[in-house]
Structure 1
């Protein structure tokens, strides 16, 4: 540290020199909350709020909390400038039970400022998906949509994905999530072992004009490393476990060996390769 400053020098805090401060245009991180208590959430936000952009209250867990506790969680996230929304499965339940009006009234009354529109478990026609996006916007919510099925072995249909992304964004969705589940295996861009299907990823990137409009669900560290090295540190990543926020941010900044190249210019990379080769 220089002089009497109590802050880390920028070259140490972010050796990549590429991270944006919140509110970010890209490089967003979404946390999946599968049951954090209020004290755990307070600890998480005190420690890592600067590195969290969205919190998803996973699946359909929202009605399982005591109402006052859930309201406190929502208020706390918003106090730290973090979007918070229920998992898309909860809306799919509302669609199935034909109570979507009650759903939107309920989540806005609680204080949620986002909504996820998905069809991971149900079949949702395009016109119904469009209506839900419009309903979310009319309710004053930030709309996040999701593409992909949750069933084991499901994969990405490229043409359908491209149409979905373009239409959702045109209708006002902020981001379109590529389904990866909380397991990150056997679905979407991941094979049965959780490895990335690079051909699918590249096929998507070849057709999407603005990749910053996508959010990649990648719960496993190996997936995060692979996607960051393949697509760059400022991709949007979701379904990140609360305990992994700082480790993911370290990856984004080149503060872990897995992404050390982010801090090197072309000459430095060449020198590093030479030195390693020489030592061997």
Structure 2
């Protein structure tokens, strides 16, 4: 049964009690998933069930060169057909920088059909000028650029003022969104402590130096992190590193169709009876 037919079965208020979710191409509340090695059939099934709610697919870390070429091309093509931006993980570009293979990296991702790129320095040290050049070069090639702030080292923290300066310069160079690092575990990095809980006052401090967070994407692989960010910043917050099998689950949290955020969006029953 087609998606449009399925939608027509349900009253509009039930499919989105928040009344706020945009259809694609979304500018608010974008969801980025991390693909750590899904097979073609599993990826096809994911898009059939959840493609409408996915805005960005990141082939995590340096996994992209390890796929058979026909498989990765098919995955990219399937995602693009559903209006999804597809990019390799930032670690792969960092490896290209370390090995002095950046031109070859860009040639290959364009040849495979990638539509986005992540510019990060979570593992290596990168000069500000090189970061600028990578962002500008990627944009000149027609790629959407998503930068990342923060180190992957366990225990690393966010310097809010440095983040603000970095983000402003990234945006000025052409970055679409700036991502706050949390790795795929969501523990002991960035906003989150060793248990994956928010570090006290961290988010409030960031908000005080970057009042407009519309162009910030928060890596939040754990459900409680997603709930906390949606409660703090609203359903339109951009969230990333979402496990592939939890896309619909996250969408229910955004819309108020899960108990964790149920009270944020529900209206009295009689409103539906008028």
Distance 2:57 2:199 in 1: 26
Deviations 1:30-56 (A, max 9, x none): 000000011001100010111000000
CA distance in structure 2 between the aligned counterparts of 1:261 and 1:31, rounded to whole angstroms: 26
Q: Distance in 1 between matches of 2:262 and 2:8?
A: 25
Rg larger for: 1
Tell me how many residue pairs correspond in the alignment: 262
Which residue is equivalent to 2:95? Answer: 93
* Aligned mates of 2:151, 2:205 — CA distance in 1: 18
1:191-235 CA-partner distances (Å, limit 9, x unpaired): 011001241111111222431100000000011111111111110
Secondary structure at the aligned position of 2:230 is classed as helix
Q: Give distance in 2, aligned partners of 1:240 and 1:188.
A: 16
Compute the displacement of 1:259 (Å): 0.2
* Helix, strand or coil at the partner of 1:210: coil
**Structure 1 residue matching 2:240: 3-state secondary structure:** strand
C-alpha distance in structure 1 between counterparts of 2:67 and 2:206, whole Å: 38
Match of 2:255 in 1: 253
Matched-pair contact (CA < 8 Å) for 2:256–2:266 = no
Shift of 1:58: 0.3
2:187 to 175, 185, 188: 185
How far does the alpha carbon of each residue in 1:131-188 deviate from its partner, in whole angstroms, 9 at most, with x for none?
A: 0001101111000000000000000011110001100011110000000000000000
1:118 aligns with 2:91: no
Partner of residue 67, structure 2: 65
Q: For 2:201, what is the secondary structure of its paired residue?
A: helix
Comparing 10-19 with 55-64, greater Cα deviation is found at 10-19
Where in structure 1 do 4 or more consecutive aligned residues deviate above 6 Å?
none
Residue number in structure 2 paired with 1:274:
none
In structure 2, C-alpha distance between the alignment counterparts of 1:62 and 1:25, rounded to whole Å = 27
* Residue equivalent to 1:148: 150
1:132 maps to 2:134: yes
Question: 118-127 or 204-213: which moved more?
Answer: 204-213
User: Do the aligned partners of 2:170 and 2:178 also contact (CA within 8 Å) in 1?
Assistant: yes
Q: Deviations over 1:64-104 (max 9, x none)?
A: 00011111111111011100000000000000001101110
Query: CA–CA distance in 2 between the matches of 1:158 and 1:209?
Result: 12
Provide the TM-score with structure 1 as the length reference. 0.92
Distance 2:18 2:160 in 1: 32
Q: With the length of structure 2 as denominator, give the TM-score of the two structures.
A: 0.93
* 1:44-63 matches, cutoff 5 A: 44-63=46-65
Greater Cα offset, 178-187 or 226-235: 226-235
Once the two structures are TM-superposed, the CA of residue 60 in structure 1 deviates from its matched residue by 0.1
* CA–CA separation in structure 2 for the residues paired with 1:201 and 1:26: 19
Unpaired runs of 5+ residues, structure 1, are 269-280
Deviation, structure 1 residue 122: 0.3
Residue 206 of structure 1: aligned partner: 208
Residues 54 and 84 in structure 2, CA contact (< 8 A), matched pair in contact too: yes
Shift of 1:7: 2.8
